[in-house]
Amino acid sequence: MSDFTTLGLAPALTDALRQAGFTQPTPIQTQAIPLALEGHDILGLAQTGTGKTLAFGLPLIDRLLATPDRPAPKSARALILAPTRELVTQIADALRALTAGTKLRVATVVGGQSINRQVALLDRGTDILVATPGRLIDLMDRRAVDLGRARYLVLDEADQMLDLGFIHALRRIAPKLGTPRQTMLFSATMPKQMEELSRAYLTNPRRVQVSPPGKAADKVTQSVHFLDKAEKPARLREILIRDPGALTLVFARTKHGAEKLMKGLVADGHNAASIHGNKSQGQRDRAIKAFREGTITTLVATDVAARGIDIPGVAYVVNYDLPEVPDNYVHRIGRTARAGREGEAIALCAHDEVGLLQQIERLMKIEIPVARGDRPVGSATPARNAGKPPRRGGKPAARPFAEAPAAGKGRRPRRRRAA
């Protein structure tokens, strides 16, 4: 498949794609779109930054255009669920750009905004509703939305929805949709619970996978710095100073930690902002806008708040704190090397985080190259990767090593409350 025109999409869509500068589909789009146009349920697996939004958005819009029914009051013809406000906004913006020349309406409902305004918005109905599960449940409880006419369901970043405990919300929402329906589930990772979710909500799905779960984007160069925890602030500032104009996304583990780190950077003269669960939606939107435009060059974030950031210009991702859930590392570093660009992911690993690093390396089946410090004796990843030179994407490091059990083996990493 050489370009979008070979897919048989509606002329309005191909025109919108051409005006937006899209000419060639990405691998996930190449595989998923034809199957979705045929009406199959889709289980799509691909790392972040590979074009999943268009992979489900294009066939969804195409099928809605083919049946130009007007949405009834308080109803939606299609429902897209995403775990965070930022991701909902990103998806909706992409879909609005594609439907600009049509009569299709795209609406969003998320927490942190006036629910009364959202009730009024839904009163006249919408073609595509993009929502976070929690706020959608609130609106359902108020009888402000009727999902019985929806014949399309998309679960985007489904693994993150599971991590955030939205499984109970999904169990309430999904049965309210009309039948028969087409369901598409997209995820960057495939934990066991995801397989259970797919069996529960998808019917004879076609599996589309363009890279193994747990694999980083090919153009991400990874490295790890071993250091004392007290050395992290100074090391972060060294990293920021070496390329002061570059967009750098810094991940902290907690909301309090992210805010404290950001204030310290600002006090030292760095152009920084933060996004986390204690920030209002307006504050988060303004920070992301400033980061995208380059007026803010350092954005400190928690995992949940940063999900949905789609900014091709992010040059560096710094894991100031390693995540307690290994899959989140893959999501974090997927914020760079987007839209075909290259990027660098740097992990700062304190002594009490070595076990977390081992779990990440086991998931990715690599040994992340060491940039500074010494790898602790006994820390290792699968031995079959030894002896291979480091390459982009965090490929195995140069020296051989033996496999050793990760710290805390047999215990699941403790998950904190969503930020």
Tell me whether residue 414 is in a domain: no
String of DSSP letters for 333-401 = HTTSS-TT--EEEEEEE-GGGHHHHHHHHHHHTS-PPEEES-PPTT----GGGTTPPP-TTTPPPSS--
Q: Is the pTM of this model over 0.85?
A: no
Residue 400 has pLDDT above 70, yes or no: no
Question: What pLDDT does 416 receive?
Answer: 43
Residue 10: what residue type? A
Same domain, 186 and 38: yes
| Burial label, 160 (beta-carbon count in 10 A; 0-12, 13-18, 19+) | buried
Question: What pLDDT does 18 receive?
Answer: 86
User: What's the mean per-residue pLDDT of the chain?
Assistant: 85
**Cβ contact 204:41 at 8 Å:** yes
343 strand-pairing partners: 220
Same domain, 169 and 250: no
Same domain, 272 and 321: yes
Tell me whether residue 310 is in a domain: yes
Same domain, 180 and 270: no
What are the b/e assignments for 345-365, b being 16+ CB within 10 Å? bbbbbbeebbbbbbbbbbbbe
Q: Based on C-alpha coordinates, what's the Rg of the chain?
A: 22
The pLDDT tens digits of the residues spanning 342-384 come to 899 999 999 999 999 999 999 888 999 999 999 987 655 544 4
**Cα–Cα distance between 111 and 131 in angstroms, integer?**
9
Same domain, 197 and 304: no
Domain boundary among 184, 209, 234: 209
At 31 the three-state DSSP class reads helix
Same domain, 249 and 363: yes
Tell me whether residue 399 is in a domain: no
Residue 183 has pLDDT above 50, yes or no: yes
Tell me whether residue 403 is in a domain: no
Q: Which domain holds residue 353?
A: 220-385
Confidence band of 404 (pLDDT split at 50, 70, 90): very low
Domain boundary among 209, 242, 263: 209
Question: What pLDDT does 403 receive?
Answer: 30
Residue 222: what residue type? Q
Sign for the pseudo-dihedral over CA of 386, 225, 218, 241: negative
Residue 95 has pLDDT above 70, yes or no: yes
Counted domains in the chain: 2
Confidence band of 280 (pLDDT split at 50, 70, 90): confident
- CA–chain centroid gap for 101, Å, is 28
**Cβ contact 126:64 at 8 Å:** no
The pLDDT tens digits of the residues spanning 35-57 come to 999 999 999 988 766 788 999 99
Same domain, 204 and 239: no
At 125 the three-state DSSP class reads coil
The CATH number linked to 91 is 3.40.50.300
Residue 385 has pLDDT above 80, yes or no: no
Tell me whether residue 322 is in a domain: yes
Same domain, 201 and 264: no
| Burial label, 328 (beta-carbon count in 10 A; 0-12, 13-18, 19+) | buried
Same domain, 202 and 225: no
Residue 261: what residue type? L
Which is nearest to 241 in space by CA: 318, 154, 186?
A: 318
Say which residue, 215 or 20, is predicted with more confidence: 20
Domain boundary among 188, 209, 230: 209
**Cβ contact 305:86 at 8 Å:** yes
Same domain, 106 and 241: no
Question: What pLDDT does 211 receive?
Answer: 65
Question: What pLDDT does 261 receive?
Answer: 97
Tell me whether residue 169 is in a domain: yes
Question: What pLDDT does 409 receive?
Answer: 38
Same domain, 204 and 235: no
Same domain, 45 and 98: yes
Tell me whether residue 294 is in a domain: yes
Mean pLDDT of 395-408: 34
Tell me whether residue 144 is in a domain: yes
The pLDDT tens digits of the residues spanning 281-340 come to 788 889 999 998 999 999 999 987 666 677 878 999 999 999 998 888 888 888 887 666
